[in-house]
């Protein structure tokens, strides 16, 4: 067998041992792929959460800015409505 003399395959290597190693490698790869898929899904959930937080923060900032504009406009209207105002 060609793999029997390979440094990564210690002697003796039977066909059963060879297939058992292949099965263990397949299981390990399957587990790693599953972990990678789960990690990618978690990453996407975190990106979505970050986008939602950014939207909320921008919405809060816009709301505050709008509130400040309204307050400034109301204050200006009050000043303009006073008797003797020169606006």
Residue 1: predicted pLDDT: 47
* Boundaries of every domain in the chain: 22-81
Confidence of residue 8 (pLDDT cuts 50, 70, 90): low
* Token duo for residue 21: 């190693």
pLDDT digits (tens, 9 = 90+) for 10-67: 666 788 888 898 999 999 999 999 999 999 899 988 989 988 888 888 888 888 888 8
Which sign, positive or negative, has the C-alpha torsion 41, 44, 50, 51?
A: negative
Per the document, the length of the chain is 87
User: Which residues neighbour 11 within 8 Å (Cβ) at sequence distance 6 or greater?
Assistant: 4, 5
Residue 30: predicted pLDDT: 93
Residue 24: predicted pLDDT: 92
């Amino acid at each position: 067998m060609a793999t029997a003399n390979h440094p990564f395959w210690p002697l003796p290597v039977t066909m059963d041992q060879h297939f058992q190693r292949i099965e263990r490698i397949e299981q390990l790869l399957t587990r790693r792929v599953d972990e990678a898929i789960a990690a990618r899904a978690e990453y996407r959930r975190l990106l979505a959460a970050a986008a939602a937080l950014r939207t909320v923060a921008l919405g809060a900032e816009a709301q505050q800015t709008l509130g400040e504009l309204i307050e400034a406009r109301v204050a200006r209207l009050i000043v303009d409505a006073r008797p003797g105002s020169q606006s």
